[in-house]
Structure 1
Amino acid sequence: MIFGEIESFLSLVERVIKPFKKSDKTLQEFLSTRLVSVFEAHGVHRNQIPNIIGHGLTLHDVSSDEYLLEKLNNEVLASTCKLFGINRDWLDGSSKEVYPTYSFYKDPQKFSDFLSGLIAECGSENLEGVLLTVDKIDRGIESVLILQETLGHINNKPYFRYYICSGWVFSYWKSRGYIAASIAMCWKNQVYVRGLYLDTSTVSCYASGECLLDFGQDGIHFPYGVRWYPEDLVEQPDVYLKNVDPEENKFGLDAALSLWFQLKNQGFLDTGYPDGTVIKKFSEAREKLT
Structure 2
Amino acid sequence: MKELLKILIDNKDWLFSGVGISVVVLFYTIIKETRQSKNKNEISVDNKPTEVDYEKMTQKEEENSPIRNVVRRFVMVYEVHGIAQTQIPFFIDKEFGLQLKDFKDEGSILHILNDDLIVWTCDKFGIQREWIEGTTNSIYPHVDYYKKVHAFIKDICTLDKSAIDVIAFKSEKLKLKENHRHCIVLLIRIPIDTLNSKIIYKYVPISTLWDWGYWRSRYQVKSIFYICEKLRINICGYDLRDKELLASGSCFPQKLMSKIPITVTWYPEDYIDLPSQSCQAKETEETPKIREYIKEQGYMDLLKDCEKKQKISSW
Matched, 1:150 2:175: no
Whether the 8 Å CA contact 1:50–1:58 is kept in 2: the answer is yes
Letter in 2 for 1:213: P
Residue in structure 2 matched with residue 56 of structure 1 by the alignment: 97
Distance 1:220 1:174 in 2: 32
2:70 to 25, 31, 36: 31
Classify 1:141/1:24 alpha carbon distance in 2 versus 1 (closer, same or farther; 3 Å).
farther
Whether the 8 Å CA contact 2:181–2:214 is kept in 1: the answer is no
1:211 to 221, 229, 251: 251
Deviations 1:137-164 (A, max 9, x none): 7977643211111112112111011112
Q: Give the TM-score normalised by the residue count of structure 2.
A: 0.66
Distance 2:293 2:197 in 1: 41
Classify 1:223/1:159 alpha carbon distance in 2 versus 1 (closer, same or farther; 3 Å).
farther
Distance 1:150 1:226 in 2: 19
Number of residue pairs the alignment of both structures matches: 247
Letter in 2 for 1:177: Y
Letter in 2 for 1:214: Q
Distance 1:35 1:186 in 2: 33
Q: Give the TM-score normalised by the residue count of structure 1.
A: 0.72
Matched, 1:73 2:111: no
Whether the 8 Å CA contact 1:176–1:240 is kept in 2: the answer is no
2:228 to 169, 186, 191: 186
Classify 1:259/1:208 alpha carbon distance in 2 versus 1 (closer, same or farther; 3 Å).
farther
Letter in 1 for 2:254: D
Cα deviation for residue 7 of structure 1 reads: 4.1
TM alignment of 1:1-290, pairs within 5 A: 7-10=46-49, 18=57, 22-27=60-65, 28-54=67-93, 55-117=96-158, 119=159, 123-135=160-172, 142-167=183-208, 168-199=210-241, 202-214=242-254, 223-224=261-262, 227-235=265-273, 260-266=290-296, 268=299
Letter in 2 for 1:8: N
Distance 2:258 2:60 in 1: 37
User: Which fold has the larger relative contact order, with Cα–Cα distance below 8 Å and residues 6 or more apart in sequence?
Assistant: 1
Q: CA RMSD in A?
A: 3.6
Whether the 8 Å CA contact 2:166–2:186 is kept in 1: the answer is yes
